[in-house]
Amino acid sequence: MGFGGYQGTILRVDLGNKQFKEHPIPKEWIRDYIGGDGFAAKILFEEVPPECRPLDKENKLILATGPVTGTSWPTSGRSAFFSKAALTGIWGESHVGGFIGPELKYAGYDLLVIEGRCEKPVYISIEDSDLQLKDASDLWGEMTDTTTSRVRRLEGDPDTQVAAIGPAGEHGVRFSSIIVNYARAAGRTGMGAVLGSKNVKAIAIRGRGAVQVNDHEAFVELAKQAHRRTRENPQAQEMSKWGTWSLTATKQEIGELPTYNHRTGVFSGWEKISAGYIRPRYTVSDRACFGCTIGCKKVNYIKEGEYAGTLEEGPEYEGLMAFGSSLGIDDYPTTLKANEICNKYGMDIISVGTTIAFAMELYEEGILTTEDTGGLELEWGNKKAAIQLLEMIGEREGLGELLSQGSKNAAEAIGPEAEQYAMHVKGLEVSGQDGRTHRSIGLAHATAARGADHLRSLVTVDQLGYEDVAAKRWGKDKLPEIIDPYTEKYKAAAVVETENAYCIRDTLIVCWYSVSWPPIFWMEDFAELLPLVTGIDEFGSVDNLNLIAERQVTLKRLFNAREGITRADDTLPRRFTKDPMPEGPGKGQTVDLDPMLDAYYRRRGWDKETGLPTDKIIKNLSLDWTRDFMN
């Protein structure tokens, strides 16, 4: 202890020996890494070596919070899971909203590290200092919603926060997720499979303690101002009403709504999966994560038709893309149903949707036939077939067995003719953006530690043309090119700066909707906030925060380097670099990745040829200790 905001304790559970252990957080970790992402990177680097495969019992799964978690700072209810990823075999992280992170803090812990494997299914029960592994044999096989309800009943307290896996995680579906509070998904990179491989069905947490900050009065005052800023922010107000759904129309307008497996960026049926269409017809309630002023979560209900009676939170824009435009489906009830199945089975809607899109394109190209699909006619827009295939993937049946391995592995199994249709980077399926109409996201997809990631450095300032913000952040001299989404010039500068700020965001941890479109909060706000929370004056320097962010980005890169990742892996699917955008405002555009990569590595201090951190930058970032763990 000693620093405000932290509980000062890491809780480790060794499943093999059925033991819980508490360790103090070393002070230098706080100084060098702040929290969240940073602590997890440090632990995974030291404790999960390259010879350990994701589903081995030696792999570890971390649930992390940051110093701001559990306070009244707006959008600070998030937490994150970390592990060597089941989907990609490299660095894995998956952030999630809801209430479980703050609850872990109130129970008295900053981090939960899950190690080893149980011989029988269990769930981890944390009720303040009462720590137990409880039998989950008769929960095994249950969907996440049933599991959550039953665990809450077993714990005897409806305020217990539950993170659960569904059948997909149990079966080792590579892109299976961990579902928190029924509908908040730690979706990406396959955290569910890691938990499943450890025979852990759920994590139940109830905490009644307090989180205390260093300067309570000043912090509360600053947090109140921050809430005011959030409430008055026009984009945040839009988010309150529409969630991320308004992106459908925006994306359609700029020609970047991934359609037919990212083949094109415009979708004729976009209106039926857009905010203005969905909300008046289906939305019954607005909800929020812990401590959030925005409240972007929408609960939706289907009154009529085949899926009548479906009551489900979501999906986000990414779901509308993955189970809408990307499959040629212009039917919101189908998308909501798909979201429900994804949540119940515990699967990442982006990865599974993109993998089904891959299968549909193979079907169109004649590479997959009804013989391979078990009779399913995988034509674009075939709603029933898409839903059926989704369930087959959750159960790993028929073609679902192959696709449950993710699009990269499935393409390798099918043959070289399939590979160009697998839309992934480093094994992680591409999210709902397209570098052809937004160059900076092309670079971010290619370089992000976990693969084709839209959350570690999605520059929005360029795409939406916020000239003043761009001038302030990157300098007037870089205008107008830096906000031109169709040129590679200066994009590395924007990506690196944004990645650094998002990195600090992920150590606090706060939600990315408070740093987007254009940002409500940025580095200078974090620098104002952190000393009040922690009492550490050094966090008051933006330069220091940038240094901490660079250290983390480079540390994750070193983690991946140990797994064999080099510049050769920092690629994009062929479609983005070779096939010009066929229509829409971005018609004719492709991504020229190499010059952006050169500039990105130069800014990061990584070697241009190999894409690996140089000795010099390793030393400058005080990462010399990593050498003891390199192979």
Closest residue by Cα to residue 80 from 66, 96, 91, 69: 96
Is residue 301 part of the contact set for other proteins (CB under 8 A)? yes
Instruction: Give whichever of 197 and 300 is closer to other proteins, judged by the CB atom.
Output: 300
Size of the site for other proteins (CB under 8 A): 46
Interacting residues with other proteins between 137 and 156 (CB under 8 A): 145, 148-149
Kind and range of the H or E run holding 234: helix 234-242
Structure tokens at 460: 């929005």
Interacting residues with other proteins between 61 and 80 (CB under 8 A): 70-72, 77
Q: Which of 120, 224, 619, 627 binds other proteins (CB under 8 A)?
A: 224
- Put residue 570 in one of left, alpha, beta given phi > 0 → left and psi -120 to 50 → alpha: beta
At 63 the three-state DSSP class reads strand
Instruction: Give whichever of 123 and 559 is closer to other proteins, judged by the CB atom.
Output: 123
Is residue 620 part of the contact set for other proteins (CB under 8 A)? no
Is residue 106 part of the contact set for other proteins (CB under 8 A)? yes
Is residue 541 part of the contact set for other proteins (CB under 8 A)? no
**What is the C-alpha to C-alpha distance for residues 439 and 444, in angstroms, rounded to an integer?**
9
From 27-35, 202-210, 422-430, 603-611, give the range in contact with other proteins by CB under 8 A. Answer: 202-210
Is residue 578 part of the contact set for other proteins (CB under 8 A)? no
Interacting residues with other proteins between 377 and 396 (CB under 8 A): none
Is residue 313 part of the contact set for other proteins (CB under 8 A)? yes
Cβ-based neighbour number of residue 129 at 10 Å: 13
From 42-50, 116-124, 201-209, 401-409, give the range in contact with other proteins by CB under 8 A. Answer: 201-209
Kind and range of the H or E run holding 193: helix 191-197
**What is the C-alpha to C-alpha distance for residues 65 and 80, in angstroms, rounded to an integer?**
7
At 411 the three-state DSSP class reads helix
Locate the DSSP E strands across 376-427: 424-425
Q: Which of 53, 208, 472, 602 binds other proteins (CB under 8 A)?
A: 208
Is residue 9 part of the contact set for other proteins (CB under 8 A)? no
Instruction: Give whichever of 52 and 154 is closer to other proteins, judged by the CB atom.
Output: 154
Q: Which of 231, 241, 279, 281 binds other proteins (CB under 8 A)?
A: 231
Instruction: Give whichever of 72 and 132 is closer to other proteins, judged by the CB atom.
Output: 72
Closest residue by Cα to residue 181 from 298, 96, 282, 284: 96
Q: Which of 136, 193, 213, 352 binds other proteins (CB under 8 A)?
A: 213
**What is the C-alpha to C-alpha distance for residues 403 and 329, in angstroms, rounded to an integer?**
20
Is residue 299 part of the contact set for other proteins (CB under 8 A)? yes
Structure tokens at 185: 């998904």
End-to-end CA distance of the chain: 35
How many residues does the structure list for the chain?
Answer: 631
Whether the Cβ atoms of residue 603 and residue 492 lie closer than 8 Å to each other? yes
**Cβ of residue 224: shortest distance to other proteins, in angstroms?**
7
At 457 the three-state DSSP class reads coil
What type of residue is 377?
A: E
User: Which letter does DSSP use for residue 174 in this model?
Assistant: T
Is residue 336 part of the contact set for other proteins (CB under 8 A)? no
Is residue 286 part of the contact set for other proteins (CB under 8 A)? yes
Residues that bind other proteins (CB under 8 A): 70-72, 77, 99, 106, 145, 148-149, 158, 181-183, 207-213, 216, 220, 224, 227, 231, 240, 284-295, 297, 299, 301, 303, 308-309, 311, 313
